[in-house]
Chains A and B, each alone.
Chain A
Amino acid sequence: MLDIENVSCLSLRNVSFSVGSRECVAVTGKSGAGKSLLLRSLADLDPNDGDVKLDGQSRNAMAAPDWRSQVVYVPAESGWWADDVGGHFDDREAATGLLHRMQLPADCLDWPVSRLSTGERQRLALVRAMVLAPKVMLLDEPTSGLDPDTALRAEAVLHERLADGGAIILVSHDPAQAERLASRRLHIEGGDVIEMPTSRDEGGGG
Chain B
Amino acid sequence: MNYIDLDYWDLALAASLLLVNASLSIIFQLGLARRLVIAAARMVVQLTMVGLVLKALFAIQSPWLTVLAALIMVMFAGREAVARQDRSFTGYWSYGIGTTSMCVAALIVTLFAVTTQFEARSWFDPRYAIPLLGMILGNTMNGVSLCLDRLLSASHGGRVAIEARLALGADASTALSSIRREAMRTGMVPTVNAMSATGLVSLPGMMTGQILAGVEPVEAVKYQILVMFLIGGGTALGVFAAVFFASHRLTDARHRLRLDRLTTK
Contact = CB atoms under 8 A, between A and B. Distances in A.
Contact of B166 (A45, A63, A128): A45
A64 B158 CA distance: 21
A78 B162 CA distance: 11
B71 interface: no
Interface stretch (A67-75, A103-111, A196-204): A67-75
B170, B171, B256 — most chain A CB neighbours (10 Å):
B256
B161 interface: yes
Contacts of B160: 75, 77-79
Nearest to B174: A65
A205 B254 CA distance: 32
A68 B161 contact: no
B255 A75 contact: no
- Chain A interface size, as a band, is 20 to 34
Contacts of A78: 160, 164
B167 A75 contact: yes
Contacts of B257: 45
Nearest to A39: B167
Contacts of B169: 65-66, 68-69, 72, 132
A80 B171 CA distance: 16
B161, B257, B258 — most chain A CB neighbours (10 Å):
B161
Nearest to A68: B169
A80 B164 contact: yes
A19 interface: no
B165 interface: yes
A127 B178 CA distance: 23
A64 B167 CA distance: 10
15 contacts: A43-B167, A44-B254, A45-B166, A45-B256, A47-B252, A64-B255, A65-B169, A65-B171, A65-B255, A68-B166, A75-B163, A78-B164, A79-B162, A79-B165, A81-B164
